[in-house]
């Protein structure tokens, strides 16, 4: 077992996250390593998991081109279990919000605030020149874009998936914060 993988597992165990809540797997990819972390429970704080895991990420870049060098890199991937997300997406509350958003009439590339908290403003752009299914944009109250702050809806069911990401995975807003 890779040393970094063991350290990540130990850090997760210290937070009370066992294998039923989060899995950590090591694999080789060419001359580099990859650590795949799958979150299996919404009880896990994804920001904390990413913070711990990304501390073990190590990618060397070419100083002139800025491209990653081949070999001796450690890539870290953190994601929620796809079955967990699929089951959550079936909750009627996501469909209700998504249907209301789809029914909104907007000018091309003009958005509307659909949710607001003391920290974030979430905008929905129904008609974007770059996509015909819409886009969600998140910024802080002081007008700064946040990490993971832009979500493009690539297909009809994508809006529900983005809502799951914002509400259950990242916990940026609650259902009650939506103004649609």
Alpha carbon distance 123, 110 (integer Å): 10
Q: Is the pTM of this model over 0.85?
A: no
Per the structure, the complete domain to which residue 9 belongs is given by 3-80
DSSP letter assigned to residue 34: E
3-state secondary structure of 33: strand
With beta carbons less than 8 A apart as the criterion, state whether 88 and 46 touch: no
Q: How many CB atoms lie within 10 A of CB 82?
A: 9
143 and 98 both lie in a single domain? yes
Span 113-163, pLDDT tens digits: 999 898 888 999 887 666 667 888 898 887 766 766 888 888 877 889 999
120 and 39 both lie in a single domain? no
Question: Domain boundary at 49, 80, 111, which?
Answer: 80
Number of domains in the chain: 2
Span 42-86, pLDDT tens digits: 999 999 999 999 999 999 998 999 898 888 899 999 999 999 999
């Amino acid at each position: 077992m890779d040393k970094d993988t063991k350290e990540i597992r130990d850090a997760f165990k210290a937070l009370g996250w066992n294998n039923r809540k989060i899995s950590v797997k090591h694999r080789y990819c060419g001359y580099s390593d990859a650590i795949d972390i799958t979150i299996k429970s919404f009880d896990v704080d994804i920001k904390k998991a990413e913070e711990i895991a990304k501390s073990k990420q190590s990618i060397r870049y070419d100083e002139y081109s800025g491209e990653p060098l081949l070999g001796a890199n450690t890539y870290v991937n953190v994601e929620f279990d796809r079955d967990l997300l699929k089951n959550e997406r079936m909750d009627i509350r996501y469909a209700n919000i998504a249907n209301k958003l789809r029914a909104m009439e907007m000018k091309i590339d003009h958005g509307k605030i659909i949710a607001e908290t003391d920290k974030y403003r979430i905008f929905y752009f129904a008609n974007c020149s770059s996509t015909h299914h819409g886009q969600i944009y998140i910024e802080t109250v002081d007008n700064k874009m946040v990490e993971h702050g832009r979500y493009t809806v690539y297909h009809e069911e994508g809006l529900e998936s983005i809502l799951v990401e914002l509400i259950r995975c990242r916990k940026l807003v609650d259902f009650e914060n939506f103004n649609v």
